[in-house]
Amino acid sequence: MVDDHDAEQVAAALRLSIGLFLRRLRQAKAGDGDLTLPESAALSRLHREGPATTAALARAEQISPQSMGATLGALEERGLVERRPDPGDGRRVVISVSDEGVRVLKDRRSARTGQIARALAAEFTAEELAQLAAAAPLIERLAHRV
């Protein structure tokens, strides 16, 4: 059994380090034409989970339907999402990722992966890379539990 104090210390260290890591990634790629955090979240969710209504996306992202509507409007203006009648209920509209949206997501992911790989290659030893590789599945498992 793990000591509660040990778990608290690890939890605090992970929260701080993962938070810093995510902030640095966001800062490094923020620039002209880049997606906002809400746009990125909505586009990624649509890509992962498939077409959805504005209301369903708003619930999933825990924001108001009005805010999600504005986010989706901006994505639609850029050609990254498409609106179509719901095949199960023609009165509703579902949003899906366009081919251009998929391309933008893939380009962003490749750029971020490259950025991380360059930092790992330049700054970390082979032993440290092995430790990070071993920790990655644990962090993913933790993400699914919180």
- 75-96 pLDDT tens trace: 999 999 999 998 888 889 999 9
Q: State the residue for tokens 């609106």.
A: 83
Burial of 47 (0-12, 13-18, 19+ CB in 10 A): middle
Q: What pLDDT, on the 0 to 100 scale, is given for residue 34?
A: 80
Q: pTM for this one?
A: 0.76
Q: CATH classification of 33-145 is 3.30.390.50, yes or no?
A: no
What percent of the chain has pLDDT above 70?
95
- 46-67 pLDDT tens trace: 999 999 999 999 999 999 999 9
Q: What pLDDT, on the 0 to 100 scale, is given for residue 55?
A: 94
With a cut of 50, say whether residue 32 has pLDDT above it: no
What ranges do the domains of the chain cover?
1-30, 33-145
In contact, 68 and 57? CB cutoff 8 Å: yes
By three-state DSSP, how is residue 64 classified? coil
Q: Which uninterrupted H or E stretch holds 63?
A: none
